[in-house]
Amino acid sequence: MKYADWVQKGFERSGDGGATLTQGFDAMLDVKKVLDRHLDTNANPSITIRAVYGEYLPLLRHFDPKWTEERTARILPRNELQFWHAAWDTYVCHCAPYDYVFDWLKEEYAFAVELIGTHKHEWGNPEAPDRSLAQHLVTYYWRGKLDDQGALLDAFYQRADGKLRGQALNFVGWSLRNSEGPIPGEIRQRLKTLLERRVGAARERPEGGAEELREYGWWFASGKFDDEWAIDQLLEVLRIARWVAPDFSVVERLADLSKAMPVKCIQALTMVVEGDPKGAGVFGWRDKAKDIIRAARRSDDGGSCRMAEDLVNFLGSRGHFDFGELLKEPTA
pLDDT tens readout for residues 309-326:
999 999 999 999 999 999
Global pTM reads 0.87
pLDDT category at 2 given cuts 50, 70, 90 is very low
Q: In terms of Cα–Cα distance, which of 211, 215, 74, 207 is closest to 138?
A: 215
Q: How many CB atoms lie within 10 A of CB 27?
A: 17
Which of left, alpha, beta for 17 (phi over 0: left; psi -120 to 50: alpha)?
Answer: left
pLDDT category at 125 given cuts 50, 70, 90 is low
Omega before 206 cis (within 30°)?
no
pLDDT tens readout for residues 221-253:
999 999 999 999 999 999 999 999 999 999 999
Give the Cα separation of 235 and 232 in Å (integer).
5
Residue 295 · residue 259 · CB < 8 Å: yes
Q: In terms of Cα–Cα distance, which of 114, 98, 121 is closest to 47?
A: 121
SS3 label, residue 221: helix
Q: In terms of Cα–Cα distance, which of 226, 213, 130, 206 is closest to 172?
A: 213
Give the Cα separation of 156 and 118 in Å (integer).
13
Average confidence score pLDDT of the chain:
88
pLDDT tens readout for residues 37-60:
888 888 888 889 999 999 999 999
| DSSP letters spanning 244-286 | -SSHHHHHHHHHHHTTT-HHHHHHHHHHHHHH-SSS-THHHHH
